[in-house]
Structure 1
Amino acid sequence: MKLKKTQLVNITIILLLALYFFTPIGFHAKVYLNRLISHNPVPVAERTQEVLEDYDFKLVDAKGNRANLMDYKGEVVFINFWATWCPPCVAEMPDLQLLYNAYGQKVTFLFIARDKEERVSNFLVKKNYDLPVYFEAGFTPKSLYSGALPTTFIIGKEGNIVVAETGAADWNDESIHQLLEKLLKKE
């Protein structure tokens, strides 16, 4: 039985789609694609910025150390919700590591994994990331809840949610550096 040209094309397309959706090769292709299409995050307009009222957000790290967002009230806080199984999350991790390297001593970073601890630990070791990762140990405040991953918030010293971004973004962009510097200077 000899296949027609259109049948060969259809089989090839089906095989490529199967590779993309059902194999690790597909996961890496999705990560690469998300890195290509990531955008610069845009601050929320000042007049529409929500003020975070509920700072009671309990967290725990992989070593069992507890933290609460309340501990960081009055500071500039960068919160990123992510998971290892999420291609857009994995795509933005290199930029997040660079941003953390630059501002980790000035800004409070909370990388909140919605994933299994073991998978997160293995991922961080494999990629050589040293991000401060936490897991939720209580209810997420309504203002910070999103069913989508990745979701990132930047909260100013006065509690304003200055950035609320969903999807892969270029977090090491100069505009984010300038925004963080501006927020850090505010009294």
Structure 2
Amino acid sequence: MERKIKKEIIEWAVLLTVIGVIYLGGWHTEVIGRMQQVVLSTGIISPDYSDEEKLAAYDFWLEDIDGNQVDFRSFKGEVVFLNFWATWCPPCVAEMPDIHNLYEQTDPVVRFVMISLDRDEQKAKEFVKRKEFDFPVYFLRSNLPASYDTHSIPTTYVLDKTGRIKVENQGMAKYNTSKFREMLSGLVEAQ
């Protein structure tokens, strides 16, 4: 009995040490994100398609990763994949590789707008560089309109050419699916 208790104490000590090292080393977001990537790879978490005719708003400013000011109104009339994320958010980290694959496989006329909500913008820039993501990353330079009022990240919107929100998804999702790519293609081809 005493041996069993000793063994259990040692197992708990090892587990807590590993968790402590991961957390104190700053790797917890990446580790949790990796575990969530496994869930995403199953395809069971897919984005929500909007049935209501909610209008997008374009009156806000961004700054790209190179420091250039961008008026979001410049995206009017285009299909836009708009994602709010942060490096400290495990679900954001989990869905980023899938979004990057979607970006690489999607018609270039679909505009990807990946808005980092990191307070430390340098951390976001280093994350994107380390992961070798080449989709456009932006930072907010004005208040967001109420139509994007979300209290959770990641949050993703897909805007059609007429300025309607076709997808509004709070939380992580697997976007790089044939169904989602077909939906984007349909929005691109629509007049």
Q: Name the TM-score class by shorter chain.
A: 0.7 to 0.9
Q: Secondary structure of the equivalent of 1:29? A: helix
Task: Confirm whether residue 101 of structure 1 aligns to residue 104 of structure 2.
Answer: yes
Q: In structure 1, how many angstroms separate the alpha carbons of the residues matched to 2:138 and 2:186?
A: 27
1:54-79: CA deviation from partner (whole Å, max 9, x where unpaired): 31011111322111221111211110
Name 1:34's counterpart in structure 2: 36
Q: TM-score, normalised by structure 2?
A: 0.85
Tell me: CA distance 1:16–1:63, structure 2 relative to 1, closer, same or farther (3 Å). Answer: closer
1:34-87: CA deviation from partner (whole Å, max 9, x where unpaired): 112232212112xx23112x3101111132211122111121111011111211
Q: TM-score, normalised by structure 1?
A: 0.87
Q: In structure 2, how many angstroms separate the alpha carbons of the residues matched to 1:77 and 1:63?
A: 20
1:116-158: CA deviation from partner (whole Å, max 9, x where unpaired): 2211221122111111111101011111122211111001112
Task: Confirm whether residue 138 of structure 1 aligns to residue 142 of structure 2.
Answer: yes
**Matching residue within 40, 49, 58 for 1:43:** 49
**Matching residue within 76, 83, 87 for 2:79:** 76
Q: 2:113 touches 2:136 (CA, 8 Å); kept in 1? A: yes
Q: 1:80 touches 1:112 (CA, 8 Å); kept in 2? A: yes
Question: Could you tell me the percent identity over the aligned residues?
Answer: 33
Post-superposition offset of 1:25: 4.2
Q: In structure 2, how many angstroms separate the alpha carbons of the residues matched to 1:56 and 1:25?
A: 37
Q: CA RMSD in A?
A: 2.2
Taking the TM superposition and a 5 Å limit, the aligned residue runs for 1:1-187 are 4-19=6-21, 21-38=23-40, 39-45=45-51, 48-52=52-56, 54-103=57-106, 105-115=108-118, 116-187=120-191
Q: 1:35 touches 1:168 (CA, 8 Å); kept in 2? A: no
Q: In structure 2, how many angstroms separate the alpha carbons of the residues matched to 1:71 and 1:170?
A: 27
Q: In structure 2, how many angstroms separate the alpha carbons of the residues matched to 1:58 and 1:27?
A: 29
The unaligned stretches of length 5 or more in structure 2 are none
Partner AA of 1:99 in structure 2: L
Q: 1:19 touches 1:26 (CA, 8 Å); kept in 2? A: no
